[in-house]
Amino acid sequence: VSIEHIHSVRVSVGEAVEELIDELPRFGRVSFRRLTESLVERLEIVVRFLAVLELFKQGFIELDQPAAFGDIEIIWVGSPALGVADLAGIDTYDG
């Protein structure tokens, strides 16, 4: 049985954090659903969620979930000029 058609999705939390640092200042406030609407693979969504948690842990975003099991709102509170070099050690979970 050939498995050539199967490919693994390689994503990292560090890369997702970089993408979010680029995207979130433009949005200001955005839902997690909107941030992940273009993602297809479940692993990509999980990695994006871990990246959101990393930014929250470091104080660059606030999270709001008004209703139990409701959509999570992400609010950018970091500097617009923030770069990856400004982040303290990001926990990397390569998937």
DSSP string covering 27-38, please? HSEEEHHHHHTT
Strand (E) positions, 1-95? 29-31, 61-64, 73-76
Please determine, for residue 94, whether its predicted confidence score (pLDDT) is greater than 60. Answer: no
pLDDT digits (tens, 9 = 90+) for 68-88: 999 999 999 987 666 666 666
Please report the domains of the chain, with CATH numbers, ordered by start residue: 13-81 (1.10.10.580)
pLDDT at 46: 94
Q: What are the tens digits of pLDDT across the range 24-81?
A: 999 999 999 999 999 999 999 999 999 999 999 989 999 999 999 999 999 999 876 6
Q: Is the dihedral of CA 72, 77, 83, 89 positive or negative?
A: negative
pLDDT of residue 76: 95
Q: pLDDT value at position 11?
A: 78
Q: What is the pLDDT of residue 65?
A: 95
Please check the confidence at residue 95 and state whether its pLDDT lies above 70. no
